[in-house]
Structure 1
Amino acid sequence: MAPLRTSSSRRLVVVGYGMVAHRLVDALGERSDWAVTVLGEENRPAYDRVNLSGYFASGDPDSLTLPIGATGSAELLLGEVAVSVDRQAQLVVTGSGRNVPYDVLVLATGSRPFVPPIDGRDAAGAFVYRTIDDLDAIRAYAADRRVGAVVGGGLLGLEAANALRSLGLETHVVEMAGWLMPQQVDEAGGQMLRRHVESLGVRLRLSSQTASVLVDDDVRVRGLAFADGTELAADLVVFSAGVRPRDELARECGLTVGERGGVVVDDQCLTSDPNVFAVGECAQLAGRVYGLVAPGYAMAETVAAQLVGREATFPGADTSTKLKLLGVDVASFGDAFGAVEGALELVYSDPVSGRYGKLVVTDDAKRLLGGILVGDASAYPTLRALAGSDQALPAEPALLILPSGNGEAGSVELSAAAQVCSCHNVTKGDICAAIHEQAIVDVGGIKACTKAGTGCGSCVPLLKKLLGAELSKAGVEMSTALCEHFAYSRAELFALVRVRQITTFSALIAEYGNGRGCDICKPAVASILASLGNGHIHSGEQAALQDTNDHFLANLQRNGTYSVVPRLPGGEVTPDKLLAIAQVAKDFNLYTKITGGQRIDLFGARVEQLPAIWRRLVDAGMESGHAYGKALRTVKSCVGQTWCRFGVQDSTSLAVMLELRYRGLRSPHKLKAGVSGCARECAEARGKDFGIIATETGWNLYLGGNGGFTPRHAELFATDLDTDTLVTFIDRFLMFYIRTADRLQRTAPWLESLEGGMGYLREVIVDDRLGICAELDAAMQRHVGSYRDEWRSVLEDPEKLRRFTSFVNAPGTPDPSITFVTERDQIRPPQPGEAPLIGGPRLKVVS
């Protein structure tokens, strides 16, 4: 076949079309006279492999496709495999017989999944997890299977485990090391991650070497055999045990290749041939092959700069990573393992909250070398920027990861040289300069101007902070966009939905947003729609917007079971209802606890048991307590003057009335309330979002308190109110909060964010400064008049009941991975590493 080009311009051929090759061509852009040809092995354009698991949620490969950008000027030959390189003739030959000439060649062939050389690895039902085609094959094969196993507990292994779990398979992860993600986190961090992963029902087998894949008579996977002689039954196996560089082309054409694989390159990414570069996972630089996208991007930028005539060398690899694996934040940055001699380690570990943090600092504790975060990675953007820099740490660096230092990491003033975006090597100075020179007012502007935040996206929270700080200095108001899909704040979206009477997410995003939405805007809009009374949260497309808890109308617990919480208004309950709760708990073997909010919680229900449990509770006259939703939880009360000799008002009756009035009220965050019958404050009303304390002549109303991570006392709003006025003020307070608060903003920070604070709030809901009190009153009346118990509605609708199953492909089948032990005569989930004692006096296996 004749050469493809006869152009007089210089010819650049890129072999491979993954994320790094895409970055190279995009960085080269139209700044040169290079005629670019890209040979892509897959039949689709470059896509985001980092977020590959998102394909299982969306089912749309286009959602992963990378923006065309400058690659639109290149000639893309998709489905074209390069089979050989003639370096003397400077020609690439493809599998279809094309001869593609080059002046400069860039190898960006990436890597391939490593599959251990064990028996059975080629059986039907054995897969790798690398491409969209791989995922399609896994999905198809899993349709009528029950158990899946992942060999490898690293980054991609846990992603694969999440994919199998989302397909309804009982999921096992096998890892040779003693803890998960051994390349990114230390043993303590790995064990904390283990607690999170096991709490989701994923079963782990650590320190285990896979010896073979067991197959049946039809050569299909039936399980795994291990070096210690034990076996695991499984219908499907995914290998995710690392990757190996794809260096076959380089080997065959005589380029220097490393002893353990990878095309050897220098710090300019040049191979042993001055006309051939290599970038990404196929390249070995200084004896190392990098399996992360950020170093690959840095290599691509290095080559692109040289191709347009600039001197450039590889700036070094940032191997920091931040991921949400199975819903758990995990981050590693800098020297996370303390390799520098004399380094000190500051460690915070809280197994109760599931948080682990480690900072590695210099021997004088003045500079940050690296660290690890598990469970809460909110401080990652700032800490990653500090790691390896010359910037001095605060006097007490431990505050950067301790809960008592909440916000401390975000308050650190980074130097101008601090690298904010490692994917594109963008510093704080670059970002601040762009903000002022280009008059940028939103994060989208920063992305467009500097490319920061367009790679892995982990630096976006820091971009927002930097933008806010710079705009504040300039007296400019910062964008309050909910997310990249809506250029509106939550309050603005609430107004649009209310005024335009929009009833679906698709209608809202079609008219006022862009794209398909995300896990930020979908639940937020679902809450807005519910707040405005748009039917049951499982009706129509609203069902797909809900988070895990709302999806099943129950709180997901650490072992994959759910809690059942019937509403007990004001903590009041009849003996008959107590008997019904007790009988349900006994029949379904549920852990039973009276909570601090005066309710009875039942734990350990499997998802397929929830309808049967709730049918009995509903028949006994009870309803959902909304413990799973961003809604009113409880109105706690004491017994008041009815029973207590100190009580001055009937606090129980008021609490019951308020809880029944506001039950099911969807809001930006959960709501809790309390009513105390006297100043002794037995209901702890001042630690609630709204609290009432009885006086001799009426009620004192307190607003904006909360417990939890940052406890805050509520502030006194009004004194000696009669009951009708009290209820009116609470109605308006709640509806004004629901209208104007940000996503997931509690009433305490919302009140603090109001310009004028409590004084302004009084003007709004007492003096009607904004002229909206009649609207707020009417909105609450609509809620009260339209309330219907969510669980009763589910029980009456066969279509809604269909979602309550552990396995989509085996309805009614219980999840065999859920196990319990007994302690103090009740069940509980086993602790990580705990071996139940069969027949023991206090701890035994429960079927």
Structure 2
Amino acid sequence: MVYGLVGPCFTMAEVVVDHLLNGDSSAAFEGADLSTKLKLMGVDVASFGDPFADGADNALGVTYTDPVAGVYKKLVVSDDARTLLGGVLVGDAESYSTLRAYVGGQLPGAPEQMLFGGTEAAGGDLPGATVICSCNNVTAEKIRCDIAEHELRDVPAVKGCTRAGSSCGSCVPLVKKILDAELAAAGIEVSKAICEHFEYSRAELFDIVRVRGITAFSRLIAEHGTGRGCDICKPAVASILASLGNGHVLKGEQAALQDTNDQFLANMQKNGTYSVVPRIPGGEITPDKLIVIGEVARDFGLYTKITGGQRIDLFGARVEQLPQIWKRLVDAGFESGHAYGKSLRTVKSCVGSTWCRYGVQDSVGMAINLELRYRGLRAPHKLKSAVSGCARECAEAQSKDFGIIATEKGWNLYLSGNGGMRPRHADLFATDLTDEQLITYIDRFLMFYIRTADRLQRTSVWMESLEGGLDYLREVIVDDRLGICAELDAAMARHVETYSDEWNDTLKDPELLRRFVSFVNAPETPDPSISFEVEREQIKPVLVAGSSLEVISK
């Protein structure tokens, strides 16, 4: 059997060495852990344990599927739902290291909690025999013993001493949890370093870049870091530079820092094509613009989908087609919806007082105002918002990073909710606000979050980790406890004044346009021998004789 993984190779090599050094050795290769985490065509995938054991009588499968977000998760557990046997993650493999550590052992919570990240492994809670690094067969007990014996204080030291995390790297987050737990138990301060190249947290790096006026990663790492950087610190610094208004994300040195999606200003899909998402502020769109979207989708053969955020996504575009598609959209008055970036996505709205007989405020107008104000605002994670025109909450504002609900006296502001893998209800921050008060508080909330949040930390998790919670946040952005409100106001004002649509700028720059090719040796026309397959075509209703109306794939 050809495993195609480094872990089994190492195990085989150890058996060979044992036989070479000890002729009468009984060592034998008896298979290996096939757990692995990979990125295929830009999509995170992972499997662990026996992902197909649910076909047995004593096993059950727990699955979650979100075809819109491209996420599939499956856990296979024993028939009493206590022991984890295996699983598969597609589209969101963030919980891989935690789940793999529990294979063959008892789950710390219900399977559905583990599936959505509701119960995460703490480094100190894992059994000593748990294999943390399957590539190098390193157990939790081995890591703990070496931390104590060799006085290891950071992840690079643990990797160098134990080899855990030194191959594929998928177990590094769990290695860090074990390290943090051991250091905390020993009364040693836990490092908040973003990675091995910087001894600072993301918030500290943000302040260094802001205060010193640094505009390039090379200068930052030369003056405040070591080495050449990695795929953890580079995108994080790219986000910081973009948040501080450092110009087009693909200009100069910044281009090399971007992740897969930002490289082409579009979301890569699982078949290697890209999505095109024009901004539709507040969900309001004219008939002429609707016609343009339809014509573009028709002419380029794109799959269209109306999203939950009141936009129309176009799927199936090849890299070399993106400038052609965006040229037509920009000429029609559209701009980038930033679906590819860690930035504001949408501000959803109901129809409000303009049409609804229950509406008490103009929710559409407010949603458009907010979306145009915060468009292009780069942050540690994506941001979503909604505005409801009355207490009936048709826009579902209380599940957003910042949500607004109209009252007869003004607006109620809710903060730090989200509907992601760890759903959280937003907290009521302030009531009956005027338009000016509402915008001021949102400005400060967003800028304070951008300044202080960790890498890839959503507002919901940030709020939960904020010492003092919601009351402290009120003191900071309402009472100006830290004396930084003027700075936060000025930072948002700079963003609003300097905003420029990234796709519009790209179309005007021949140098930027040169990157949009699928094949460097055939930039104009793809090789005719290469076939591009559509993953899913539009579905249409088909009337089947003698039966009810069914929907089948075309």
Higher relative CO (Cα under 8 Å, sequence separation at least 6) belongs to: 2
**Separation in structure 2 between the aligned mates of residue 360 and residue 699 of structure 1, nearest angstrom:** 47
Q: Tell me whether 574-583 or 629-638 shows the greater mean CA deviation.
A: 574-583
* One-letter identity of the residue aligned with 2:282: G
* One-letter identity of the residue aligned with 1:566: P
1:548 deviation in Å?
2.1
State how 1:616-765 maps to structure 2 within 5 Å. Answer: 616-765=328-477
**Separation in structure 2 between the aligned mates of residue 336 and residue 591 of structure 1, nearest angstrom:** 31
* One-letter identity of the residue aligned with 1:703: L
Contact kept? 2:89, 2:96, Cα under 8 Å: no
**Separation in structure 1 between the aligned mates of residue 112 and residue 365 of structure 2, nearest angstrom:** 45
* One-letter identity of the residue aligned with 2:401: D
Partner of 1:595: 307
Contact kept? 1:639, 1:652, Cα under 8 Å: yes
Partner of 1:489: 201
Mark the runs of 5 or more structure 2 residues left unpaired by the alignment. 542-550
TM-score normalised by structure 1 residue count: 0.57
Partner of 1:278: none
**Separation in structure 2 between the aligned mates of residue 366 and residue 594 of structure 1, nearest angstrom:** 40
Contact kept? 1:344, 1:365, Cα under 8 Å: no
Residue 28 (structure 2) pairs with residue 319 (structure 1): no
Residue 4 (structure 2) pairs with residue 155 (structure 1): yes
Query: Which residue of the other structure, out of 58, 64, 72, is the alignment partner of 1:355?
Result: 72
* One-letter identity of the residue aligned with 1:561: T
* One-letter identity of the residue aligned with 2:478: V
* One-letter identity of the residue aligned with 2:414: Y
Mark the runs of 5 or more structure 1 residues left unpaired by the alignment. 1-113, 115-151, 157-280, 282-289, 307-311, 827-840
**Cα shift readout 1:291-344 (whole Å, capped 9, x = no counterpart):** 51244357669989x9xxxxx996976722424152455556667777xxx994
Contact kept? 1:345, 1:360, Cα under 8 Å: yes
Contact kept? 1:328, 1:374, Cα under 8 Å: no
Partner of 2:548: none
Contact kept? 2:83, 2:107, Cα under 8 Å: no
Q: Tell me whether 314-323 or 719-728 shows the greater mean CA deviation.
A: 314-323
Q: Give the 3 Å change call, closer, same or farther, for CA 343–448 of structure 1 in structure 2.
A: farther
Q: Give the 3 Å change call, closer, same or farther, for CA 700–475 of structure 1 in structure 2.
A: farther
**Separation in structure 2 between the aligned mates of residue 670 and residue 749 of structure 1, nearest angstrom:** 13
Partner of 2:86: 371
Contact kept? 2:413, 2:431, Cα under 8 Å: yes
**Separation in structure 2 between the aligned mates of residue 686 and residue 316 of structure 1, nearest angstrom:** 55
1:372 deviation in Å?
4.9
Partner of 2:9: 292
**Separation in structure 1 between the aligned mates of residue 80 and residue 349 of structure 2, nearest angstrom:** 53
**Cα shift readout 1:33-64 (whole Å, capped 9, x = no counterpart):** xxxxxxxxxxxxxxxxxxxxxxxxxxxxxxxx
Contact kept? 1:735, 1:780, Cα under 8 Å: yes
Contact kept? 1:649, 1:678, Cα under 8 Å: yes
Partner of 1:615: 327
Partner of 2:544: none
**Separation in structure 1 between the aligned mates of residue 352 and residue 480 of structure 2, nearest angstrom:** 33
1:410 deviation in Å?
5.4
**Separation in structure 2 between the aligned mates of residue 624 and residue 586 of structure 1, nearest angstrom:** 20
**Cα shift readout 1:136-188 (whole Å, capped 9, x = no counterpart):** xxxxxxxxxxxxxxxx9x637xxxxxxxxxxxxxxxxxxxxxxxxxxxxxxxx
Identity of aligned residues (%): 63
Residue 106 (structure 2) pairs with residue 393 (structure 1): yes
**Separation in structure 2 between the aligned mates of residue 354 and residue 619 of structure 1, nearest angstrom:** 34
**Separation in structure 2 between the aligned mates of residue 768 and residue 299 of structure 1, nearest angstrom:** 67
Q: Tell me whether 757-766 or 433-442 shows the greater mean CA deviation.
A: 433-442
**Separation in structure 1 between the aligned mates of residue 376 and residue 476 of structure 2, nearest angstrom:** 25
Q: Give the 3 Å change call, closer, same or farther, for CA 743–396 of structure 1 in structure 2.
A: closer
* One-letter identity of the residue aligned with 1:665: L
Contact kept? 2:386, 2:397, Cα under 8 Å: yes
Root-mean-square deviation (CA), in Å? 3.5
Q: Secondary structure at the match of 1:470?
A: helix
Partner of 1:524: 236
Contact kept? 1:638, 1:677, Cα under 8 Å: yes
TM-score normalised by structure 2 residue count: 0.85
1:735 deviation in Å?
0.5
Q: Give the 3 Å change call, closer, same or farther, for CA 724–630 of structure 1 in structure 2.
A: same
Residue 532 (structure 2) pairs with residue 818 (structure 1): yes
Higher relative helix content: 2
Q: Give the 3 Å change call, closer, same or farther, for CA 812–479 of structure 1 in structure 2.
A: same
Contact kept? 1:678, 1:694, Cα under 8 Å: yes
**Cα shift readout 1:628-673 (whole Å, capped 9, x = no counterpart):** 1111111111222222222222222111111111010011111111
* One-letter identity of the residue aligned with 1:757: G
Q: Secondary structure at the match of 2:429?
A: strand
* One-letter identity of the residue aligned with 1:813: T
1:819 deviation in Å?
2.6
1:354 deviation in Å?
4.7
State how 1:106-505 maps to structure 2 within 5 Å. Answer: 155=4, 292-296=9-13, 319-320=32-33, 321-326=35-40, 327-329=42-44, 344-350=58-64, 352=67, 353-355=70-72, 357=74, 359=76, 371-375=86-90, 377-381=93-97, 385=101, 393-394=106-107, 398=111, 403-404=115-116, 406-408=118-120, 413-421=125-133, 426-436=138-148, 438-505=150-217
Q: Give the 3 Å change call, closer, same or farther, for CA 609–413 of structure 1 in structure 2.
A: same
Q: Secondary structure at the match of 1:486?
A: coil
Q: Give the 3 Å change call, closer, same or farther, for CA 564–447 of structure 1 in structure 2.
A: closer
Query: Which residue of the other structure, out of 565, 569, 573, is the alignment partner of 2:281?
Result: 569
Partner of 1:173: none
Contact kept? 1:297, 1:424, Cα under 8 Å: no
* One-letter identity of the residue aligned with 1:684: E
Q: Secondary structure at the match of 1:817?
A: coil
Higher Cα radius of gyration: 1
**Separation in structure 2 between the aligned mates of residue 302 and residue 765 of structure 1, nearest angstrom:** 68
Q: Secondary structure at the match of 1:292?
A: helix
1:546 deviation in Å?
1.5
**Separation in structure 1 between the aligned mates of residue 17 and residue 190 of structure 2, nearest angstrom:** 33
Contact kept? 1:298, 1:425, Cα under 8 Å: no
